[in-house]
Amino acid sequence: MENEKLFCKSGGCTAKLGAGILSRVLEQLPRGPENPNLLVGYDSKDDAAVYKISEDTAFVQTLDFFPPMVDDPYIFGKIAATNALSDIYAMGGEVKTALNIVCFPEKMDLNILGEIMRGGAEKVIEAGGTLAGGHSIADTDVKYGLSVTGIVHPDKIYTNNGARPGDALILTKRLGVGIICTANRVGEASAEAMEAVIESMTTLNKYAAECCKTFEIHACTDVTGFSFLGHLHEMIDGQNSCHIYANQIPIFEEALRHADEFLLTAAGQRNRNFTSPYVRFENIPFAMEEILFDPQTSGGLLIALAKEDAPALLEQLQETGAPARIVGEVTEKADIEILVS
């Protein structure tokens, strides 16, 4: 078992379909009768679906799975589960149950599968949820994730498009995960950088979400495969504009060097192609641009709230150990949607 590695051409959230392709497919789907209890559906570009079951309770439903981006099966299981659970927190919800999603080659050592699922189970338990079952299929490549159900009060849902002009934007985790994992696959990433990236990818957004409970959150999303700028574009949603402070964004510093060496992901280039028409960079180095388009696996929360509340939330987030920063502000709608300077 210890000699087997979980190699993958595009692991983690770099394996996502591009936002442009996905949008075109979703636009063609038939729509049934409108259901007033479906509070959030796929047409809103939110992180999870929300279905109201009573005046004070709604289900939050999500699923996420992907191929490995690290060789250690146990660590991969922890990362995949942390990533899947994150969507519940991005909606303001509380994790209740989870189901395993497993694709696994029949000829591969089953101890590897056991380690993957052990890592996932530990994260579900840490989230306060119950692992209730799952489904598996034989496949040529390893893939793993979770279908997760949570609950939220119908009046306390965090949508991703409620940001208002004057809001501050807070990011709770560092960027550059995809670039460093790419560098690691070709033996260029340092052990220290990979250790830091793995720690980030296995940190539940539960703790950041708990800090948000005492504040009025206008919008929230988790930054994953569509990149910081891609998810920010969804948050702005054509309603407003925003100004991002490049020197305030938390990043893995080693990612800058790897980006300058063109150790990039195909998903990052898809993100650039799709999102760049909405972005203007002013005096931003190429490497930093790439980090802003870099697909993140199990990334942090991007939070919009009133500017006067932001310092207090930031202090609470940093007390949990999060490398959170105020990274920008929402502005009135202008000619360019996202200004990065």
Residue 2: pLDDT band (50, 70, 90) is very low
Residue 95: pLDDT band (50, 70, 90) is very high
| pLDDT 10s digits, 59-81 | 999 999 999 999 999 999 999 99
| Domains by residue range for the chain, with CATH | 12-152 (3.30.1330.10), 167-340 (3.90.650.10)
d(CA 99, CA 62): 11
**Out of 13, 181, 211, 220, which one is annotated catalytic?**
13
| pLDDT 10s digits, 223-281 | 999 999 999 999 998 999 999 999 999 999 999 999 999 998 888 999 999 999 999 99
Listing DSSP states for 284-339 in one string gives --HHHHHHHHPPPSS--EEEEEEGGGHHHHHHHHHHTT---EEEEEEES--SSSEE
| pLDDT 10s digits, 144-162 | 999 999 999 999 999 988 9
Q: Supply the pLDDT for residue 19.
A: 57
Please, what is the average pLDDT of the chain?
92
Per-residue pLDDT at 1 exceeds 50: no
Q: Supply the pLDDT for residue 11.
A: 56
Across 14-28, 167-181, 199-213, 275-289, least confident range: 14-28
d(CA 49, CA 99): 16
Q: Supply the pLDDT for residue 24.
A: 76
Q: Torsion angle of alpha carbons 199, 202, 208, 210, nearest 10°?
A: -130
Query: Mean pLDDT, to the nearest integer, of 25-52?
Result: 83
Per-residue pLDDT at 8 exceeds 50: no
Dmax over Cα atoms in the chain, in whole Å? Answer: 57
Per-residue pLDDT at 15 exceeds 80: no
Q: Supply the pLDDT for residue 17.
A: 58
| pLDDT 10s digits, 296-314 | 999 999 999 999 999 999 9
Residue 329: pLDDT band (50, 70, 90) is very high
Distances (CA, A) of 127 to 124, 135, 234, 302: 5, 21, 27, 20
Kindly tell me the burial class for residue 276, based on how many C-beta atoms sit within 10 Å of its own C-beta (0-12, 13-18, 19 or more): middle
User: Identity (one letter) of the amino acid at 22?
Assistant: L
- Residue, of 123 and 27, whose pLDDT is higher: 123
- Residue 103 annotated in active site: no
Per-residue pLDDT at 26 exceeds 50: yes
Q: Are 338 and 244 in contact (CB under 8 A)?
A: yes
